[in-house]
Amino acid sequence: MPSASLIWLPVSQLKILIPRDQIAQRVAAMGADITRDFMGQTVMFVGVLKGAAIFLSDLTRHVELDSTFDFIGVSSYGNRPSPAQELASGWDSTGEVRLTKDVDQSMKDRNVILVEDILDTGLTLSYLKKILLAHQPKALRIATLLDKPSRRKQPIEAEYVGFKIPDEFVVGYGLDYAEKYRNLPDICVVPRAG
Ligand code: 5GP
- Mean pLDDT, each 10-residue run in order, the chain (194 residues): 66 93 98 98 97 98 97 74 42 69 94 97 93 96 97 94 96 94 96 78
- pLDDT at residue number 194: 65
pTM exceeds 0.85: yes
Cβ count within 10 A of residue 105: 12
Helix (H, G, I), strand (E, B) or coil at 31: helix
Q: 34, 43 in Cβ contact below 8 A?
A: yes
Q: What is the CATH number of the domain that holds 135?
A: 3.40.50.2020
For residue 108, CA distances in Å to 134, 140, 159, 175, 178 come to 9, 11, 20, 30, 35
Residue 12 inside a domain? The answer is no
**Strand 187-190 relative to strand 15-18, pairing:** antiparallel
Residue whose C-alpha is closest to residue 117's, from 137, 145, 139, 91: 145
Residue 93 inside a domain? The answer is yes
- pLDDT at residue number 170: 96
Residue 163 inside a domain? The answer is yes
Ligand 1: which of 175, 182, 183, 192 to mutate, judged by most atoms within 8 Å of the beta carbon?
175
Domain range holding 25? 20-168
Residue 178 inside a domain? The answer is no
Distance of CA 129 to the CA centre of its chain: 13
Residue 179 inside a domain? The answer is no
Residues recognised as catalytic: 120
Does the beta carbon of 144 lie inside 6 Å of ligand 1?
A: no
User: Could you give the number of structural domains in the chain?
Assistant: 1
Residue 180 inside a domain? The answer is no
Residue 63 inside a domain? The answer is yes
Residue 4 inside a domain? The answer is no
d(CA 134, CA 11): 42
153 upstream amide cis, omega within 30 of 0? no
